Amino acid sequence: MRPEVKRIFANMLADFKSSVRGAGTPFNARDYLQTWQGTVNNHYLKTQRMFSGMIFNPDPNSTEDEKMFGILLLALAAWRKENADTASKAITDTNNRQMSKALGEGRQALYDEGIENPTNLELALTSTASLKKKFAGRIEGIVSTETQSASEFTKFAEASVYSGANPMETLRGVPPEKPDVAKVQTKKIWRTVGDARVRKIHLEVDGQKRSLNEPFVVNNEFLMHPGDRTSGASVGNVANCRCVSEYEV
């Protein structure tokens, strides 16, 4: 995913520079929304394939396993679509904010040099330099966050199917009208990587055990697995997270 993210940001920088040079204002980052959606969705698919089979390995001669595998594939596809849209929108919103901020920083830098009425070209050069640093600082975060989110859901989905539950229903907790889902006995455990970089709010939940269909409670937010954004977890809970979930099926 890293080369793709770099390529998109490089194209956006060129468009930003051209837009500011021509009109004195940034273009709308939503012009790249579909590009981000495609990139994120493709990365999710590759990640799901890499992490598949860690919990559920279907028997090719079992009709029941074939049925469960079909449910799993549908769930993985549904999750990809839903989360690629959510992640891409968040990335796009941040892109728009950073472009506006870079333009202001470029204008301020010129003003500090005594240029009160800069030309669009001068503004384009200074603000593009500022934006380049902002984009570069986000590449690793985007890659690690979206990789972890997809890999952890893949394990969660396999644990759900292997436990006789529908992954997308399990992801949204225990609905009252689904008592069969509430009977899932599989347990999950939140684990950190155990180094000095682990954020305090995740260190506090290291070892927390829940039923498969119950959320982890992390800093008063609900996550069905590390990196889960289903219930609106904050950026501080999911960005650059390296935690994992273990399953007792």
Task: Return per-residue pLDDT of the chain as tens, 249 residues.
Answer: 999 999 999 999 999 999 999 999 999 999 999 999 999 999 999 999 999 999 988 898 999 999 999 999 999 999 999 999 999 999 999 999 999 999 999 999 999 999 999 999 999 999 999 999 999 999 999 999 999 999 999 999 999 999 888 898 888 875 545 555 556 689 999 999 999 999 999 999 999 999 998 899 999 999 999 999 998 899 899 999 999 999 998
Q: How far apart are CA 13 and CA 26, in angstroms?
A: 10
Structure-block tokens of residue 157: 């989905």
Say whether pTM exceeds 0.85. yes
